[in-house]
Amino acid sequence: MRYVSLMPTQGERKAETRQRLLDAAAELFAARGVDGASVDAIAERAERTSGAVYDHFGGKDGLLFALLEGWVDDITVVIGAELATTTTLDERLAAIWRNVTDPPAGGGRWIALEHELWSYVARHPAAREHLARRYRAAWVGVDEAVAEWSDAVAVGPALIGLLLGLEMMRRVDPAAVNDEMAIAALRGVVRTTTGAAR
């Protein structure tokens, strides 16, 4: 008979602590903003110590970036799968738009936290380079995807900027930015950089 331990392993405990900290941070960042959510408050919400935040993430910035990167990775996988089943430019842009405005990860908090991050790096220049690296990588990813179905070149910054701006305006007034208008605007970015899209 083989003995099976019901006690979690050290790796399982670490993974649970990491996830609890991420969940607590997501909740507090959404409710209070990044500046308003202290390391101590996050640790308390997660029923862990502030030392756990530093051990796992190096501090609040590391926790913020880990949280956003996890959500972005999840959304990237979903968008990639959806793009694989599309055939027209509008279908592709609709898949991207849908996943930005109603993301499958982050409990609906991802995009709000993305906007919060912009404000945060404006107040904390040390965090700006991390965000710049993150966006440069996203721009490359968008450019590679768009190159497969368009002659567009270097549209990543414009497409992501427009996506986030349209999503922000939709939050302000949902009736002002409907899906058709958003897709038309995104199509305009792709087409004006190429003259035509496939």
Q: What is the pLDDT of residues 153-176, one digit of tens each?
A: 788 899 989 999 999 899 889 999
CA–CA gap between residue 73 and residue 182 (Å, rounded) = 23
What's the pLDDT at 112? 77
Residues of the chain with CATH 1.10.357.10: 61-192
Q: What is the CATH number of domain 61-192?
A: 1.10.357.10
Predicted TM-score (pTM) of the model is 0.75
**In the structure, what pLDDT confidence band is assigned to residue 195 with cuts at 50, 70 and 90?**
very low
Question: Which superfamily does CATH assign the domain made up of 8-58 to?
Answer: Homeodomain-like (1.10.10.60)
pLDDT digits (tens, 9 = 90+) for 33-81: 888 999 999 999 999 999 999 999 999 989 988 888 887 778 788 888 8
Per-residue pLDDT at 122: 85
* CATH 1.10.10.60 segments of the chain: 8-58
Specify the pLDDT at position 99: 87
Q: What does the pLDDT read at residue 180?
A: 95
